[in-house]
Amino acid sequence: MSKVCQVTGKRPISGNNVSHSNNKTKRRFYPNLQKKKFYIPEEDRWVTLKVSTAGMRTINKNGITSVLKKAKAEGLIVL
């Protein structure tokens, strides 16, 4: 599975490693993804999402149901 958050849509971005002598080599910055199970009381079931820590904070703030509805509308998740 790809390194994409299913809630926020965060993806790896590219940048440079910069040495002390100012040499630059390409590198990638990965999002902080965690595999996490969430309980949906309306449907009485558990779902497992690959979500960034920022996405977990969004779920805690807005609730799992509204976040999943928004993610489905944006095409980030298919359940």
Domains in the chain with CATH codes:
1-16+24-79 (2.30.170.40)
C-alpha 35, offset from chain centre: 9
How far apart are the C-alpha atoms of 39 and 19, rounded to whole Å?
Answer: 46
Which of the two residues, 78 and 37, has the higher pLDDT score?
37
Degrees to nearest 5, angle at CA 51 with 7 and 45? 85
Detail the DSSP E strand segments found in 1-79: 13-18, 24-29, 33-40, 45-52
Q: What is the pLDDT of residues 3-33, one digit of tens each?
A: 999 999 999 999 999 999 999 999 999 999 9
Residue 1 pLDDT level (bands cut at 50, 70, 90):
low
Which of the two residues, 41 and 1, has the higher pLDDT score?
41
What SS3 class is residue 64? Answer: helix
Own/partner pairs, 22-26, CB within 8 angstroms, 24+ separation:
none
